[in-house]
Amino acid sequence: MTKRTATTSALAIVLAMLLAACDKVPLIAPSGSAITLSANSSTVPTNGTVGLTAFVTESSGTPVQNGTSVRFTTTLGTITPSDAQTTNGVAVATFNAGANSGIATIHAVSGGAGGGSGSTSSGGTGTTTTGPAATNVVLITVGVAAVKTISVTASPTSVGPNGGSVTVMATALDTSGGSLAGIPVTFSADHGGVDPGVAITDASGQATTTLTTSAETKVTASAGPASATATVTLRAAPAVTIKCTPPVANGTCTAVPASDATNSVTVTFEVAKATGSSALREVTINFGDGTSQGLGTLAGGAATVAHTYSGSSNGTTATYSAVVTATDVDNERSTTSTIVNVTPRAALTIDLAAAQGASVLGQGQPVTFTATVTGGVAQSFAWDFDGDGTVDATTSSNKITRVYTTNGRVTATVTVQTTDGRSATARTEFIVTGV
């Protein structure tokens, strides 16, 4: 091999090595190029993802060469891939938020490409831009840091007088008023309990829980720095009072005597809407004897109703419980009651006496009999003057006169029939002698 040939071969080897080395050096944007970075969302829930797009152009405005390398960096979370190559000037990557909330500042850089002379930073008071906005920087708010305001509502807004459950809904909104999905919202209540205590907002930015309480309750929803409250009230119960008045002055319904004539008594009930009661839809009184009566809504405040009770047939006290049921416009119900005791009427008795009041009477003298009835109202009197079981006369009067024409011992009887179908018999004995 000649010296000239050896030199040529050495140069070829060096050139090949230089070309191989050039193949391993990333292609970067030339000086004067510009990068415009954009994200398909400015907010993301924790562990969520956002697509990133970097558009790189040369100073002439044309896209950089395909395969130009763009590096992505972030102050929070991760980016995949961290280095991406352009196609028609566009490089794409994915921002992975991770588990921590906050504001991620993301940059895209490539060689001499810039994004404007300004700089963008984030802090506790928000985002600050110095000078013209840097086009190669985007800010993405992660998790609860994206929440600007939160609203909370309860449906229904009240529970019944005995307590109940309502649905509580919180809506998380960003700085522009848009709803935020995937935000953990914490619920708490000053009475009762909420389940679940933490709920995640859905695609509409809403998180729900169930509040169970038996008192007026303030329920709070919190997400990051934002919180809001709603008050669930306790509805008033339907409430009525009942008062029973007997027919006798200064008496009470705990011992109302039955009438001797009818074995019954009529009392008066006053049913009134109680102070603080809810609006009533229907009021009914059940008298306790198998009958009832509607009293309407008590729009006038009270209603008065009379009712007749029967006494017992065996001489004992008959007890009745009058129950008033009130139903309000929310279909809540309450009851109140009072006792009515109907005491037995007097036992039916009859006393028979001769007007003379003597045990020995003269023959041919008129004898006037008087039947005195207690415990009932007489309808008729059946008279047996001789005690032989034969009815000699029937009258509606309790008095009758008889003349005896024979001497001897006489037993006179009378049987009374009352207006309510009872009967009783009385007798008297005397001697008739000659004049």
CB 267 within 8 A of CB 247: yes
Q: Which range has the worst mean pLDDT, 4-13, 359-368, 412-421?
A: 4-13
Predicted local distance difference test score (pLDDT) of residue 354: 82
The encoded tokens of residue 74 equal 């972030």
Q: What is the pLDDT of residues 100-158, one digit of tens each?
A: 989 999 999 999 887 764 444 444 334 444 444 689 999 999 989 999 999 999 999 99
How far is residue 83 from each of residues 67, 109, 214, measured CA to CA in Å?
Answer: 11, 10, 59
- What residue ranges define each of the domains in the chain, with the CATH number in brackets? 34-145 (2.60.40.10), 147-234 (2.60.40.10), 240-343 (2.60.40.10), 349-433 (2.60.40.10)
Q: Identify the sign of the CA torsion 123, 126, 131, 135.
A: positive
Predicted local distance difference test score (pLDDT) of residue 365: 83
Q: Which range has the worst mean pLDDT, 3-12, 30-39, 72-81, 133-142?
A: 3-12
Residue of 350 and 122 predicted with greater confidence:
350
Percent of the chain residues topping a pLDDT of 70: 89
Q: What is the pLDDT of residues 54-98, one digit of tens each?
A: 999 999 999 999 999 999 999 999 999 999 999 999 999 999 999
Sole residue written with tokens 């027919």: 247
Total-model pTM: 0.61
How far apart CA 303 and CA 283 sit, in angstroms, is: 10
Predicted local distance difference test score (pLDDT) of residue 120: 44
SS3 (DSSP) at 325: strand
How far apart CA 35 and CA 15 sit, in angstroms, is: 34
Q: Which range has the worst mean pLDDT, 43-47, 103-107, 147-151, 360-364?
A: 360-364
Kindly tell me if the per-residue pLDDT of 51 is higher than 80.
yes
pLDDT band at 395 (very low <50, low <70, confident <90, very high): very high
How far apart CA 282 and CA 284 sit, in angstroms, is: 7
The encoded tokens of residue 147 equal 């929440």
CB 145 within 8 A of CB 101: yes
Beta bridge partners of 184: 200
Residue of 298 and 251 predicted with greater confidence:
298
CB 185 within 8 A of CB 259: no
Q: What is the mean pLDDT of residues 189-214?
A: 96
